Structure 1
Amino acid sequence: MTKRSAPWPMYVPEGTKNVGTARVREDRTVGASYAQRELMRRTGNQPASQFDDIAAGYDPFADAPLMPPPAKKRPKYRNTKCEHNGIKFDSEKERSRWFHLIQLQAAGRIRDLRLQVPYVLTARKQRDDGSWERASKYVADFVYFDVDADKEVVEDVKSVATRKNRTYIQKRKQMLAVHNISVKEI
């Protein structure tokens, strides 16, 4: 191997075709295919440098850009969760019903209005192998005492689609069988 006598970076005067046995090409053609070089020669358009990445803004040591968070998945029944005075509601329809029940309570037509009341449908039981079967619960949206009818009312706000939910239907039937309570669907 021979020692290079020229300092680095080597300067080659414009128009030089050969340096020693090496053919000199223009910077814009280095790494370009024959078709790309022909297009550049015919059109006169020079592409951006492919080899000077740092000058073009690429930093190999920079932190990787943060990915945007994935888009939130829409709810199955297209409900919009909302909040009012620290109370969280599963849907805007449920919140609207809450406002209506508060007005009825203020007017004296209902009393003892409660929100998200749990009912135990089947108690926790131990299996033969020693493991435990969880208790089954139903959580009513609203429970209140209707003054005019003189009875307790259990209400659940449901859309047309959620009324057909098999789990809900089964729990509604168990409420009637276990607690003798008919769930009023709104």
Structure 2
Amino acid sequence: MSRSARAIPLDCLGPHARQQVDNVLYGAAVQKALRAEKKANKYGAKRTEVDGIVFDSAAEARRWSVLKLEERAGLITGLERQVPYAITINGEHIAKWIADFRYVRDGQTVCEDVKGVRTPVYRLKAKLVQAIHGIRITEISA
């Protein structure tokens, strides 16, 4: 049985029916707002903005500020952030690791990762990046 939908003015409804409509509309609005909220980081990191750049954590933002000062002072050159490294074995892409920062100090390339928690996945990726790319990751404690 098919019916065409018709709009019914809310003022035609009794108080109980109006309350039900309000509950449905309010519930939908609350659900939409909850979906819009960003999921909190499970390790407690808070996104932080510095120099118009949004960092995954306040510790990473602080490190960026220090490295920018070192770059201005001429202690480091070629400062980059979020540099990806492919983890490929026997021609098959397994994963990627993203360095928080990469720069050159005293002629040596340095790859840094700001770490609050050294997860098992991170430890494995760090070993693979070292084995494949010959890169030793410098860990900066949060």
Q: Sort the TM-score into its range (normalised by shorter chain).
A: 0.7 to 0.9
| Match among 119, 127, 135 for residue 85 of structure 2 | 119
CA distance in structure 2 between the aligned counterparts of 1:166 and 1:92, rounded to whole angstroms:
22
Identity across the alignment (%)? 37
Q: Is the partner of 1:96 in helix, strand or coil?
A: helix
CA distance in structure 1 between the aligned counterparts of 2:84 and 2:39, rounded to whole angstroms:
28
Q: Is the partner of 1:177 in helix, strand or coil?
A: helix
**Structure 2 match to 1:141:** 100
Q: Specify the code of the residue in structure 2 equivalent to 1:181.
A: I
Q: Is the partner of 1:155 in helix, strand or coil?
A: strand
Question: What does residue range 88-103 of structure 1 map to in structure 2 within 5 Å?
Answer: 88-103=54-69
CA distance in structure 2 between the aligned counterparts of 1:112 and 1:141, rounded to whole angstroms:
14
**Structure 2 match to 1:128:** none
| Match among 143, 153, 157 for residue 114 of structure 2 | 157
Q: Is the partner of 1:112 in helix, strand or coil?
A: strand
TM-score where L is the length of structure 1 = 0.57
Identify unmatched segments of 5+ residues in structure 1. 1-52, 126-132
CA contact under 8 A between 1:124 and 1:135: conserved in structure 2? no
Structure number with the bigger relative contact order (C-alpha 8 A, sep ≥ 6) is 2
CA contact under 8 A between 2:86 and 2:93: conserved in structure 1? no
Deviation at 1:134, TM superposition (A): 4.2
Q: Specify the code of the residue in structure 2 equivalent to 1:154.
A: C
Give aligned pairs, total: 120
Identify unmatched segments of 5+ residues in structure 2. 1-12
**Structure 2 match to 1:105:** 71
CA distance in structure 2 between the aligned counterparts of 1:180 and 1:86, rounded to whole angstroms:
33
Higher strand share: 2
**Structure 2 match to 1:171:** 125
CA RMSD of aligned residues (A): 2.4
**Structure 2 match to 1:43:** none
CA distance in structure 1 between the aligned counterparts of 2:86 and 2:39, rounded to whole angstroms:
31
Higher helix share: 2
- Structure ID, larger Rg: 1
CA distance in structure 2 between the aligned counterparts of 1:182 and 1:100, rounded to whole angstroms:
21
Q: Is the partner of 2:115 in helix, strand or coil?
A: coil
